[in-house]
Amino acid sequence: MAKKLGKKARKFARKNLQSAAKRNRKIRNQINHRRPRRGGESLRPAPASRGGAAREDGDLEAPQRVDDATTMSTNDDAAILINGLEFPEDDFEIDADFSDSDGYLSEDPGCPYYSDSEDCDAGKDCIMQDGLGRQNEDMNLDIKKQKKKLKKLLDKDPDFANFLEKWQSELESYRSKEDSDEDDGMDSMDDDDDDSKDGSSQSAKILTGKTISEWSQLVSKEPKSPAIRNLLNAFRDACRYGVHSDSSSMQRFQNARVFYQIITFVLSESDNIFRGLLEISDDANKGQIMNLKQSKKWKTVDPLIKSYLQNSLGLLSQLTDNKILAFVLTRLRASVVLFSAYPSTSRRLLKILFRLWASGDQTLSLSAFLMIREVASLLPDCLDLCLTKAYNTYLASTKLVNDRNTKHIDFLMNCLVELLSLDVQKSSERAVTSVEQLNAILRQASKTKEKEDLRKIDNWQYINCVNLWVRFLCCNYKDYNLHPLLSRVLQVIRGVAHLFPGTRYLPLRLKLVRMLNELSTCSQMFFPIPSLLFDCLEFREVSQKAQTQKTRVNFSSLLKVPKSLLKSREFQEQCILSAIQVLSTHFAQWSYHVSFPEVATIPLILLKRLHEQTTIESLHRPIKRLIDQVNENKDFIERKREVASFSPNDKASVDSFLQDEKSSGNTSFTRFYASVAENWQPRGRKTL
């Protein structure tokens, strides 16, 4: 059995080890997060500066592009908004199910241990036996150097040697007293308890690859074999490695290969082993697990499942490699139904999963979401918690938007919509509550027109929250009665569009118009989209300096354009081309409808005016092409209407008008829109 570390070594470990530092930072963050804010729960933003007053055209001076340089300045406003939109979460006790156990299982002394012939290379493959690793080796080297210096000093100065001998006895007694006090205090509660639980005889035995292979074969042949307890204890030690570095159980692995061998086998085979012991199928549900909890069979397997689940969650909390985390999540997903027996552990699992889901790594986020969906599907009691935490996590992830995280935010939105679609009735109630909060913020801003209230809307969290419910409506409107929610969302979109006039807010307008296009497609309702665009497409003359200066405008990370870009050629081209793409989508939706000539009349007038006013030669051709295609489709519909024999009041005949042509898709405007969408797709990945 390894020798217990002294006081100085333990103190050094607590201050310098990476695992201890990481744990301390986590504790500090939790304390700071739970600390109540001064001045009550409600927060007010900092007062607006006099230089940031609203302009005559409704534009605000504050820049709205969110990037790394503006992160600190936007945190206060984002915090104000998220406190008003997020759903409250109930506090829960973590690991209440395992409060009486640390995951250690009593082992059968008859299980064999073997020694391998392979040598342990401490520099490359071997896990450090003392728990301190290279830091401890550096300390030993420093001690040796100090001893050499001290020996030289003693040879040169006899008086100093006599002084050391005089105080040597007192120094040794003082150190022994400190060590005994420390052992009777903290170590008697931690180290001695761990030694008593682990068993000194078992902790002293080194685990080799041959031993793990033999145990694995025994368990594979007979799941009831006592070797399963030894394997789970080894898995426990592997999961706790680096967290409890001063524990003697961390010295059991011969090398890193054995470490990974234990992790891989237990994660891959435990679920099959537990299902075999409980005699349940792969499609077992929560009801079967709860019925089994009252049987004798469960009492035998319960300690094994507890140890496995507890240590697996500990492993997820400590791992930093995304690929290994994804592997652990994939294997643990098969055992989701077992979490139903331990409610507080399920909550801790969800807390870890949502943290991983919000990470920027695509593979890890997908693996975490697949397990979240599995928990929400198999454990109905956890659905409310999943929806609440998913919604709050999404809002927290969208308060800062830049060029790098737009795809990740869209991925989070799609995942959240999929979760909400598991129970549309329950989710629609949450949606109505959220949209009412959005509407309340909008009414306040429309009433006061103050900069503080406008910032709560001209904000990425607000816009992404609206976009979330638009996506939810598009996915479920045809199958469920969501018209009340649709009317509320339309009210918010129109209110925001009219609240921010001016060319600077064209990126925001474009986002709102795309939402209206999506809602129009799913509901088959007409919305006057062109009127929201053309009042923004009025540009001033492009200066000669702006023509020569090349600027890149990325609308995907903008809500308001900086003043310096308003007269730039790149910005004006981007605005016109984006408007053409959005209008083409709008016209394509109604291109086969009997009322298309009336729908296109006013937009054609505005397009012709825009074609005459624009001074950028490269924009004349795309505008003229859209005008020609709309005119051609308008003439086509009018010719078809002349030979129609039904009345406009005949709704069935109106709905069936030109359905054969629509199915074939051979009209000129359909081919035009397909080319626009195809040409725009590469551009959209960069600039939209």
User: Are 208 and 256 within 8 A, CB to CB?
Assistant: no
Average pLDDT over residues 360-388: 92
C-alpha span between 238 and 245 (Å, rounded)? 11
- In this predicted structure, which of 187-191, 363-367, 634-638 has the lowest mean pLDDT? 187-191
Highest mean pLDDT (candidates 26-35, 251-260, 304-313)? 304-313
Q: For residues 323 and 287, is the Cβ–Cβ distance under 8 A?
A: no
Q: How confident is the model at residue 551 (pLDDT cuts 50, 70, 90)?
A: low
pLDDT higher for 210 or 170?
210
**Helix, strand, or coil (residue 63):** coil
Mean pLDDT, residues 459-474: 94
pLDDT, residue 206, reads 83
Q: Is the pLDDT of residue 119 over 50?
A: no
For residue 162, what are the CA distances in angstroms to 59, 178, 551?
Answer: 84, 25, 79
Q: What is the pLDDT of residues 597-625, one digit of tens each?
A: 999 998 899 889 888 888 888 888 999 99
If pLDDT is split at 50, 70 and 90, which confidence band does 20 have? low
Tell me the C-alpha distance between 400 and 516, whole Å. Answer: 24
Q: Residue 560 has what pLDDT?
A: 86
Q: How far apart are alpha carbons 511 and 555 in whole angstroms?
A: 9
Tell me the H-state helices in 241-281: 256-278
Chain center to CA of 90? 20
Cα 222 off chain centre by: 41
Taking the C-alpha atoms of residue 548 and residue 546, their distance in angstroms, rounded to an integer, is 6
3-state secondary structure of 207: strand
- Residues in CB range of 501: below 8 A, 6 or more apart: 57, 58, 535, 536
Asked if residue 313 has pLDDT above 80, the reply is: yes
> Would you mind telling me the total number of residues written for the chain in this entry?
688
**3-state SS, residue 323:** helix
Largest Cα separation within the chain, whole Å, is: 124
Q: Is the pLDDT of residue 318 over 80?
A: yes
Q: How far apart are CA 312 and CA 218, in angstroms?
A: 22
For the segment 196-224, the average pLDDT, to the nearest whole number, is: 73
| pLDDT the model gives residue 546 | 47
Please compute the mean of the pLDDT values over residues 437-458 and round it to a whole number.
92
Is the confidence at residue 339, as pLDDT, over 80? yes
* Each residue's pLDDT tens digit, 34-65: 444 444 333 333 333 333 434 334 343 333 33
Q: Give the burial string for 452-478 (b: 16+ CB within 10 Å, else e).
A: bbbbbbbbbbbbbbbbbbbbbbbbbbe
pLDDT at 681 over 80: no
Residue labelled with tokens 């981007």: 574
Give residue 371's identity as a one-letter amino acid code.
M
Name the average pLDDT for the chain.
77
The whole-number average pLDDT for the span 353-380 is 92
Structure tokens given for 534: 């053309």
DSSP state of 624: H
Percent of the chain whose predicted confidence (pLDDT) is above 90: 29
413 versus 296: the higher-pLDDT residue is: 413
The pair of three-digit structure tokens given for residue 649, joined into one six-digit string? 């009041």
Nearest C-alpha neighbor of 59 from the set 534, 392, 524, 506: 506
109 band by pLDDT with thresholds 50, 70 and 90: low
Residue indicated by tokens 């001076």: 61
Distance CA 44, CA 31 (A): 23
424: pLDDT strictly greater than 90? yes
Question: What confidence category does residue 431 fall into, taking pLDDT thresholds of 50, 70 and 90?
Answer: very high
Band of residue 134 on the pLDDT scale cut at 50, 70, 90: low
**Distance, CA of 199 to CA of 186 (rounded, Å):** 19
Under the banding of pLDDT at 50, 70 and 90, the label for residue 647 is confident
- Alpha helix locations (H) across 334-382? 343-357, 362-378
Locate 631 and state its tokens. 């005119």
Residue 417: pLDDT over 90: yes
- Mean of pLDDT values over 191-213: 60
Q: How far apart are CA 48 and CA 53, in angstroms?
A: 8
